[in-house]
Amino acid sequence: MKSTPVRDQVKDHLLTPKNAVLVIIDYQPPQIITTVSMDRQTLIGNMRALIKTAKAFDVPIVLSTVNTINGRNPDTIPQLKELLAGVPSIDRTSINAWEDEEFYQAIKATKRKKLIIAALWTDACLLFPTMDAIKEGYEVFPVVDCVGANSIEGHKAALQRMVHAGAQPVGWNSVACELQRDWGRHETVTGFMEAVKEQGHGWGWFISVSQEIEEYHNYKGASAMQVQGTQPPH
């Protein structure tokens, strides 16, 4: 088995750790609680996996909240905030993050043109910056299993509008596999697998169960007890 040489990770047409940035917008309690288009716990679990994936591949992260400094909204939910230590949070008043100067400059500062974006809600804080970014020549990849809206209809309509404008919908697992690309790139396999196993759905459950079965068959407890002069219970 021999893989082809690693392509230029800056110029590659696919997502790579060197040409992409993860954009996270408004994962705050009011937005989470009022999302009804998908199960909220699944959404949070998927977002944790997406963030852990980005960190495993050293993909830069731009994080934003709305109306936190002025006291109207709480900060990013703790389940995600704990994974984002060291990532500055850009607070704004604009519904469209692209119309906030600090956010806009943070995106430009990454010098990356592929935006992996997750935001709440789909039909507002995801839709608007996606449309603006595409207009300015960015490639935008909305992570559809990490986002939601106040209604299923609104969620679907917003995704359709983005796709018509040129957005490229992805799932968090697709992002992870696209960044990894080759199991022979050993330096990122562990981080990738940790994200998959923690998420626990899809194929993550299979990996966890397989490891548990292997550990069971390799268990040395009985032998250890016999060495100590005791017998296992019958």
pLDDT 10s digit of each residue in the chain, 234 long? Answer: 899 999 999 999 999 999 999 999 999 999 999 999 999 999 999 999 999 999 999 999 999 999 999 999 999 999 999 999 999 999 999 999 999 999 999 999 999 999 999 999 999 999 999 999 999 999 999 999 999 999 999 999 999 999 999 999 999 999 999 999 999 999 999 888 888 888 766 655 455 545 544 555 566 554 444 444 444 444
Task: Note if the bond before 172 is cis, omega within 30 degrees.
Answer: no
Q: Whole-prediction pTM value?
A: 0.86
DSSP E strands in the chain: the ranges are: 20-25, 61-66, 89-92, 114-119, 139-142
Q: List Cα–Cα distances, 223 to 208, 211, 212, 233, in angstroms.
A: 25, 21, 19, 13
**CA 168: distance to chain centroid?**
15
Q: How many CA atoms lie within 13 A of 120 on its CB side?
A: 28
Asked about 177 being catalytic, the answer comes back as no
Exactly one of 125, 146, 149, 196 is catalytic; which is it? Answer: 125
Closest CA to 90 of 99, 80, 100, 82: 100
Per residue in 156-194, pLDDT (tens digit) is: 999 999 999 999 999 999 999 999 999 999 999 988 888
DSSP code of 82?
Answer: T
Task: Note if the bond before 121 is cis, omega within 30 degrees.
Answer: yes
DSSP code of 13?
Answer: S
